[in-house]
Amino acid sequence: MSESSGQTNLVRCFVDALRGIESVFKSERNFRIHLAVAVAVIVLGFVLKISSFEWLAIILCMGFVLVAEVLNTSIEYLADVAHPEMDPGVRRAKDAAAGGVLIASVAAASVGVIVYLPKLWEWLSKS
């Protein structure tokens, strides 16, 4: 395999991944909500001047939630293709995947409260 062929495959992988993210963005309201919350959290981080360690925690949590949402969506896509009619097993799989998103979101919100609440309290006390 030539070097340019390997580079072409690498570019194709990125293009495929971006197409997948675009598909989830267009089709999943919850993904768009999570993305909007992530943008708000980033803005708030700059306003409140959070530390490098706090940024690390926030970025990892945002990534964790977005990945959970993408994996949940991919499970739903596959389940719908494999078994279009209602099936108890498919429903359990979809519910479990959605539960994973909920766990990730609660964990991320908890980290957000730990990072932002003291800073917001301090900021509001000064006002």
Residues belonging to the active site? 69
Q: What are phi and psi of 86, to 5 degrees?
A: -60, 135
DSSP state of 73: H
Amino acid in position 32: R
Least Cα distance to 41 among 126, 121, 108, 125 occurs for 108
Q: Are 34 and 66 in contact, with CB atoms under 8 Å apart?
A: yes
